[in-house]
Amino acid sequence: MAFDIARTRAAYPALTEGFVHFDGAGGTQTAAGVIDAVTDVLRAAVGNRSAAFAPGRRSLEVVAAARQAVADLLGAEPEGVVLGPSATALTYTLARTLGAGWRPGDEVVVSRLDHDANVRPWVQAAEAAGATVRWAEFDRHTGELPTGQYADLIGERTRLVAVTAGSNAIGTVPDVPAIAKAAHAVGALVCVDGVHSVPHGPTDLASLGADVLVTSAYKWSGPHLAAMVADPARWAELRPTKLVPSSDAVPDRFEYGTPSFALLAGVTAAVDHLAGLDPDAVGDRRARLRAGLTAAQAHEEALLDQLLAGLAARPAVTVYGSPARRCPTVSFRVAGMSPAATQQALGDAGFCLSSGDYYAYEYFQTMGLRDSGGAVRASIYHYNTADEVDRLLAELDAVTDRTGTMVR
């Protein structure tokens, strides 16, 4: 179906403020259904989880619904969905848990393409255990993460391979299934950071080959909460540190403290929003998610092509990486301007973009760009329009003309 952009935009109250949001990678705007769901729970009688009274049952239902929604989004089982405040917090929980079982001589493999949230928790857990960290390198020109290197990086002592399903810096979508296959051949676990990939297309835990997949709802129209999913049998093997009286059931034992019931209702509503992106879609929620996200992906990819062509036509602009498979995310610099100055100039004109390293620390260190300010990031989400891309390109021209840096 043709993606109905007017209908989609109407679902985001914040878009009426008039800003142009190319900052979805840092957090998308919130869908109306999410706001309503959060408000409904805040207004309702809600108790701590208990089957004994109705408000307590409501909390139980909210949590169960959020687990089911995330399971539908990722192709997981609800009992395998661990909910938490952020992807970073969840990954630290897992790293501490797994790291407690590592020994000197064990190895973990991380990548320099990843957001630091899927690097540092593993590096620090390895250090604490005396385990060895091995690094997968990206190609500096293309921004690809060559799969072949994993044959050398992975060995008998590899316990874990952590890799991104989509770079939040330059969009690269690595061949995660192939990497996972190499890891599984030696019995290593695979932890996949899906924070940047999940908003941009259908996701399936099994097809990725991920043992653990992490996602953050605020990157796909929801509230600031995250989830970490795995086969429930996998969670059953692991024993995180926890309070003595808190539930030892799976997946609850990985969750710390009383959850935010209102925001969890927002997670469910965000998944329902994604499932409604294609109004003609039929079937269960997972089928409708596939249809809606496929339609949104086609829309985003057309905008990405438009943006890349526009940037390539501007000699003052340097775009980093040209990965064959990518999320709609582009890092660039304008000649003679610091990334922060470009961001500020665009920001003054109502365009919201990130600048810096966006925590893709190893990428920008390796590129030698970090100390001089990283880059500017334009990240496309399904509520963006072709007109917004044109306006961004025109504003870049205006900015560079004003500062006299445009080389034509």
Ligand X SMILES: Cc1ncc(COP(=O)(O)O)c(C=O)c1O
Binding segment toward ligand X, per CB under 6 A, in 13-21, 47-55, 114-122, 256-264: 114-122
Among 67, 112, 115, 273, binds ligand X (CB under 6 A): 115
Give min distance, CB of 4 to ligand X, in A.
Answer: 27
For position 355 contacting ligand X by CB under 6 A, the verdict is no
Nearer to ligand X, 28 or 216 (CB): 216
Cα–Cα–Cα angle for 178, 184, 189, rounded to 5 degrees: 105
Q: What pairing do the DSSP bridges indicate for beta strands 351-352 and 329-334?
A: unpaired
- In 113-256, DSSP assigns E strands to 132-136, 158-164, 189-193, 212-216, 226-229
Nearer to ligand X, 354 or 400 (CB): 354
Nearer to ligand X, 379 or 400 (CB): 379
Residue 77: both structure tokens together:
């089982």
Give min distance, CB of 169 to ligand X, in A.
Answer: 9
Build a one-symbol-per-residue string for 38-57: x at contacts with ligand X by CB under 6 A, - elsewhere. Answer: --------------------
For position 396 contacting ligand X by CB under 6 A, the verdict is no
Q: 121 preceded by cis ω (within 30°)?
A: no
For position 117 contacting ligand X by CB under 6 A, the verdict is yes
Name residues whose C-beta falls within 8 Å of residue 249's C-beta, 6 or more positions apart in sequence: none
Diameter of the chain by CA atoms? 72
Among candidate residues 180, 160, 167, the one with its CA nearest the CA of residue 96: 160
Build a one-symbol-per-residue string for 183-212: x at contacts with ligand X by CB under 6 A, - elsewhere. Answer: ----------x-xx----------------
The footprint of ligand X on this chain (CB under 6 A) covers a number of residues equal to: 14
Written as one letter, the residue type at 136 is A
Name residues whose C-beta falls within 8 Å of residue 396's C-beta, 6 or more positions apart in sequence: 314, 317, 334, 342, 346
Nearer to ligand X, 98 or 226 (CB): 226
For position 216 contacting ligand X by CB under 6 A, the verdict is yes
Nearer to ligand X, 25 or 163 (CB): 25
% helix, strand, coil for the chain, step of 5:
45, 15, 40
Among candidate residues 91, 81, 98, the one with its CA nearest the CA of residue 241: 98
For position 106 contacting ligand X by CB under 6 A, the verdict is no
For position 228 contacting ligand X by CB under 6 A, the verdict is no
For residue 301, CA distances in Å to 171, 222, 235, 293, 398 come to: 12, 22, 36, 12, 25
For residue 285, the surrounding DSSP H or E stretch is helix 285-312
Give min distance, CB of 98 to ligand X, in A.
Answer: 18
Among 154, 226, 295, 378, binds ligand X (CB under 6 A): 226
Residues 81-100 within binding reach of ligand X (CB under 6 A): 86-88
Q: Please tell me the distance from the alpha carbon of residue 405 to that of residue 204, in angstroms, as a whole number.
A: 45
For position 111 contacting ligand X by CB under 6 A, the verdict is no
- Under DSSP, the state recorded for 45 is -
For position 168 contacting ligand X by CB under 6 A, the verdict is yes
Build a one-symbol-per-residue string for 2-41: x at contacts with ligand X by CB under 6 A, - elsewhere. Answer: -----------------------x----------------
For position 260 contacting ligand X by CB under 6 A, the verdict is no
Nearer to ligand X, 73 or 195 (CB): 195
Question: Which residues in this chain contact ligand X in the complex, by CB under 6 A?
Answer: 25, 86-88, 115, 117-118, 164, 168, 193, 195-196, 216, 226
